[in-house]
Structure 1
Amino acid sequence: MNAPMLNRRETFLGGVAAIWAVPVVTSAQAAQAVLTWNPRALSLEEARTLAAASERIIPATSTPGAIGVGVPQFIDRALADWCEADDVQRLKLGLRDLGAGFAALPAAEQDVRLRQAEAEARTLATQRPPKPHWFLTLRELTTVGYFTSQTGATKVLRYDPVPGEYRGCVPVKEIGVAWATS
């Protein structure tokens, strides 16, 4: 799993913002200032950091981002009900390592910190035996939460409730984008 982070949105600040060096707060960052849900496995600060990080992994474009489809809530439920204690602790420590004010940082600085974490994860993955890293857990839970949401499965993936006969080894040109079934 050495795929790079999803980076679907680059923000163009324009000349005026660059000249005045005005900090820009994206709508996703503004949404994280106040949580609209009560975390069960995370502290409020960890939940804010989780929301900001998951939104940077899958940001809103023409479709909702991670926050818009409820990925932070999905991850919190997974941590509370499903994940093993070691994975929960590792992810919580990783969220703390991103910094208490991570959610309030400009998107570019958030991306830098997440790319650093991804680089650390890749380095640990090459060791023998491979050592787990919190970023891999975060990325996996973010993508699973996003693509199993109704929006992710029906608006982002091509949804075909009855895909028809099974045909293995089909050229990608025939398939196009990925599809999902319920």
Structure 2
Amino acid sequence: MNRRHALKRLGLSIGYTLATPTIVSMLQSCKTEAKLWVPNFFTLDEGLVVKNIIDLILPKTQDVPGALDLNVPEFLDLYISKTYTEKRQKRYKKDINAIMEALPITEKSVNDLKTEDYDALLSKYLKTNKKQQLAYKAYNDEKDQKNEDALIFQALDNLRNFAIWAFKTSEQIGENVLAYDPVPGIQKGCIPLNEATGGKAWSL
């Protein structure tokens, strides 16, 4: 299955609420040039790491724009800074710190990291078997014995899900890649997805 078809089939199982008009407006307002972006919540180094990871997760292809084309990292930064409580911001900062510490930054700056460094990190954690992923997801760092691998997996998984939610919320993806009907007709229940939308997930 190619990436365009995979995006069409993305469901709503990633754990985020439906986008309100305010959230959609916030996403459309993120038009800053990449080189001029100064994060609100992330540090400059964290912002660069987030952008590079998201670019690998949702890259640009011939027929679908990438997350960076839609300013997804900028939106995530703005969304966290404007809508998260102080407690949630601290929790998310902990996630980002776990990712930063898992990257080989010891002898070099973030700018010196290569695509291979990010790809190795994603492969190590997001390509583990289902049994291991379930164990990582069940881990609670406030109750269980410290598990760095579980923290890193949860941080990367949360970032991936957050990025996919923002990506699907964008006007360009909602109207041109997903199933889009601004004026829905009659409701038809219990019909195959291929018959209803051609196999696409609905744009919400």
TM-score, L = length of structure 1: 0.69
Write the deviation string for residues 127-146 of structure 1: whole angstroms up to 9, x where unpaired. 58997721122012101111
Is the 8 Å Cα contact of residues 41 and 77 (structure 2) preserved in structure 1?
Answer: yes
C-alpha separation in 1, matches of 2:78 and 2:112: 20
**RMSD between aligned residues:** 2.9
Deviation at 1:121, TM superposition (A): 5.2
Runs of 4+ in 1 over 6 A off after TM superposition: 128-132
* Sequence identity percentage: 25
The match for 2:137 among 125, 134, 139 is: 125
Deviation at 1:109, TM superposition (A): 4.1
Write the deviation string for residues 94-129 of structure 1: whole angstroms up to 9, x where unpaired. 3313434378413x5422211223247543114589
C-alpha separation in 2, matches of 1:86 and 1:58: 26
Give the gaps of 5 or more residues in structure 2: 5-33, 145-149
Is the 8 Å Cα contact of residues 40 and 77 (structure 1) preserved in structure 2?
Answer: yes
SS at match of 2:35: coil
| 1:81 corresponds to | 82
C-alpha separation in 2, matches of 1:156 and 1:86: 35
Is the 8 Å Cα contact of residues 94 and 134 (structure 1) preserved in structure 2?
Answer: yes
Please give the residue correspondences for 1:44-123 in structure 2 after superposition, counting only pairs within 5 Å.
44-61=44-61, 62-83=63-84, 84-99=88-103, 100=105, 101=110, 104-106=113-115, 108-118=116-126, 119=128, 122-123=134-135
| 1:170 corresponds to | 191
SS at match of 2:46: helix
C-alpha separation in 2, matches of 1:156 and 1:91: 30
The match for 1:151 among 160, 172, 181 is: 172
SS at match of 1:49: helix
C-alpha separation in 2, matches of 1:146 and 1:153: 9
Greater RCO between the two (CA within 8 Å, min separation 6)? 2
Is the 8 Å Cα contact of residues 41 and 80 (structure 2) preserved in structure 1?
Answer: yes
C-alpha separation in 1, matches of 2:36 and 2:71: 10
Give the gaps of 5 or more residues in structure 1: 1-6, 10-33
Distance 1:91 1:168, change over 3 A: farther
Deviation at 1:169, TM superposition (A): 2.8
Deviation at 1:8, TM superposition (A): 3.9
